[in-house]
A and B are shown apart, each in its own frame.
Chain A
Amino acid sequence: QKEVEQNSGPLSVPEGAIASLNCTYSDRVSQSFFWYRQYSGKSPELIMSIYSNGDKEDGRFTAQLNKASQYVSLLIRDSQPSDSATYLCAVITGNQFYFGTGTSLTVIP
């Protein structure tokens, strides 16, 4: 079983809609959770971190963490074409960052 699993997509949403990205992780002792955005040919860029259960909002982005269900999600409100990218979920377990394979998001103008 992979440490971090994401639906690879592609996920398409119209401009202005809410995009919902999901991630599950396998190790219950994982403590730190992150979302990275990666444009084609570029390196990952950190957009959100979350460490405790519940929601964390930053601008148009909301990260949600449910440790009991081992589930992390990212909501992007008022999606823009510039949000079109691959979104990587990452989890720290022990001393390592584990990454999912990413979900490709396309925002249609």
Chain B
Amino acid sequence: DTGVSQDPRHKITKRGQNVTFRCDPISEHNRLYWYRQTLGQGPEFLTYFQNEAQLEKSRLLSDRFSAERPKGSFSTLEIQRTEQGDSAMYLCASSAGTVEAFFGQGTRLTVV
């Protein structure tokens, strides 16, 4: 399967802990996006990469969030000192430029 892959699918963590999620995009896609989605809401943009360059980051994203895409391949999203409000589905998507984006299955984070 050459779709977008995210790991882990589910993560339960205690408040204050750090968590890291991984996304492997479709291999020929140069753009990679991270979104967060809570119940009843549409996906909320967090950040996006074109190849290895992080070109935009949401103003809503606190300094506890950081993302990387070394070598323009997979990407990681780290959340430091997690809070209960960070509980959400974290979605990764990739695209070949400004065309269709395809989503991974998401990582559901629960902060207890």
Residues on A lying within 8 angstroms of B by beta carbon are 4, 8, 31-32, 34, 36, 42-46, 49, 88, 90, 92, 95-102
User: Is residue B103 contacting chain A, with contact meaning CB distance below 8 A?
Assistant: yes
Q: How far is the CA of A31 from the CA of B91 in the complex (A)?
A: 23
Interface assignment of B60: CB less than 8 Å from any CB of chain A: no
Partner of A96, one of B48, B100, B105, B106: B48
CB-based contact A46/B104 at 8 Å: no
A43 & B100 in contact (Cβ 8 Å cutoff)? no
Assembled-state Cα–Cα distance A26/B112 (Å): 38
Q: Is the CB–CB distance between A43 and B91 below 8 Å?
A: yes
Assess A44 versus B45: contact at CB under 8 Å? Given A95-B55, A96-B56.
no
Whether, in the assembled complex, B85 has its beta carbon less than 8 Å from a beta carbon of chain A, the answer is no
Contacts A8-B40, A49-B99, A97-B93 known; list 16 others, CB within 8 Å: A32-B98, A32-B99, A34-B101, A36-B103, A42-B106, A43-B105, A44-B43, A88-B42, A88-B43, A95-B48, A96-B45, A97-B45, A99-B35, A99-B43, A99-B44, A100-B42
Given the interface contacts A97-B93, A101-B40, does A46 sit within 8 Å of B45 by beta carbon? no
Majority-rule SS of A interface residues: strand
Within the complex, which residue of A4, A8, A43 is in contact with B104, where a contact is CB–CB below 8 Å? A43
Per the bound structure, the CA–CA distance linking A43 and B35 in Å amounts to 11
Q: Mark B73-112, 1 if CB is under 8 A from A, else 0.
A: 0000000000000000101010000111111111000000
Structural contact, B104 and A31, CB atoms closer than 8 A: no
Q: Which residues of A contact B35 (CB under 8 A)?
A: 99
- Is A43 a contact partner of B42 (Cβ separation < 8 A)? no
List the A side residues contacting B56 at CB < 8 Å: 95-96
Docked CA distance A88–B43 (Å): 9
Task: Provide the residues of chain A in CB contact with B101, threshold 8 Å.
Answer: 34, 46, 90, 97
Taking CB atoms, residues of chain B closer than 8 Å to A95 are 48, 50, 55-56, 98
Closest-CB distance, A14 to chain B (whole angstroms): 25
- A32 neighbours in B (Cβ, 8 Å): 98-99
Is the pair B42, A97 in contact by a Cβ cutoff of 8 Å? no
Residues of chain A within 8 A of B104, CB atoms compared = 43
